[in-house]
Amino acid sequence: MINVTKTFLPPLEDYNRIIQRVWDNEWLTNRGELVLELEEKLKKSLEVSNIIITNNGTIPLQIAIKLLGQKGEIITTPFSYVATTSSIVWENCKPVFVDIHPEYFTIDETKIEEAITTRTTAIVATHVFGNPCNIEAIEAIAKKYNLWVIYDAAHCFGVKYNDRSIFEFGDVSTCSFHATKLFHTGEGGAMFANDIELRHKLYYSHNFGHNGPLAFHGLGINGKISELQAAMGLAVFPYMNNIIDERKKIVEFYNLNINFSKVSSLKIRKNTEWNYSYYPIIFETEQDLLDLQKEFNNRNIFPRRYFYPSLNTIQYTKGAEMPISESVASRIMCLPLYVGLKVEELEKIVLLINTHLC
């Protein structure tokens, strides 16, 4: 079976060696030695000024929206994983959708201003498949209208834009360390903020609001990552260069061998150091996608319709029509991409695409 992705598992002896430290310390959670070590390693590797790692990738979005959304309207993209929108609704804010760019698939910055009202409090934008938004334009708009900017950077581990970590942009950036991501802790995530006061709020918000054991800064929830999760991250971390190199080879194989006469691929924004996180192809019609998906599945190959459906169409958003997002969402499919894919498997995938669409 060839799935759209496969979790990278480090050698078991590596994980066991690190897990032994948990037993030796008798400390399983509440920001122990392994969590602190992982944060320092990630901060140095990613070249970021700060990081707070969390128990999953959705909690950072919810915390940021709770702090900055103020139960107002939040301008956001309809083309993202559902957590981007559900977090807005969950925190009693209203998502206001803006359509996407037809090539980059990120929020169309030229349409943001017309969606701003007196109730708008923030912009939540997704760097789709690790492809950066038009950061300069978004942040200029936010400054003009005094809005917060939260970037859903779930797919962006290792991505740089203009020679800076993508996590250094916006008021808050978030990332996912889910098992399907390049870097993972089994389940986990992170949040980043350059402003010291805001970072302090994010920190205590993910730790029940604590100010020491007996006092509280304010309201909080439990977003802490465990030592067991951190151990997985520490075991995966040494292999990150190899993981990205292997994925790059697969992307290059697809680029060289797919017949792009009837499908197109993602356009990466200029000045981006990409991380090869996903390989989406876009068909001319949804029926072409469905027909090829059936052929794949019949051969135990399982690409994924990602992202589908367009989030403005789900029941609890009741969003306006977003023609570009709805069209792209109906025609996009992510191909298998993970460490361990064999050349013969890649050849099989490409052959099915090229012969089906000829």
pTM of the model: 0.97
Q: How far, in Å, CA of 150 to CA of 204, rounded? A: 18
pLDDT in tens, 283-299: 999 999 999 999 999 99
Q: How far, in Å, CA of 80 to CA of 158, rounded? A: 19
Q: How far, in Å, CA of 46 to CA of 160, rounded? A: 9
For the chain, give the percent of residues with pLDDT over 90. 98
pLDDT in tens, 144-187: 999 999 999 999 999 999 999 999 999 999 999 999 999 999 99
- Of 3.90.1200.10, 3.40.640.10, 3.40.50.880, 3.40.50.920, the CATH number of 10-238 is 3.40.640.10
Q: How far, in Å, CA of 253 to CA of 229, rounded? A: 33
DSSP classification of residue 158: T
DSSP classification of residue 319: P
- Angle at CA of residue 59, ends 176 and 97, nearest 5°: 85
CATH superfamily of 240-356: Aspartate Aminotransferase, domain 1 (3.90.1150.10)
Residue count of the chain, please give it. Answer: 358
pLDDT in tens, 3-42: 999 999 999 999 999 999 999 999 999 999 999 999 999 9
Residues 6 or more apart whose CB falls under 8 angstroms from that of 330 comprise 286, 289, 308, 309, 310
The pLDDT value recorded for residue 318 is 81
pLDDT in tens, 100-148: 999 999 999 999 999 999 999 999 999 999 999 999 999 999 999 999 9
pLDDT in tens, 303-336: 999 999 999 999 999 879 999 999 999 999 999 9
Domain ranges of the chain: 10-238, 240-356
Average pLDDT over residues 196-200: 98
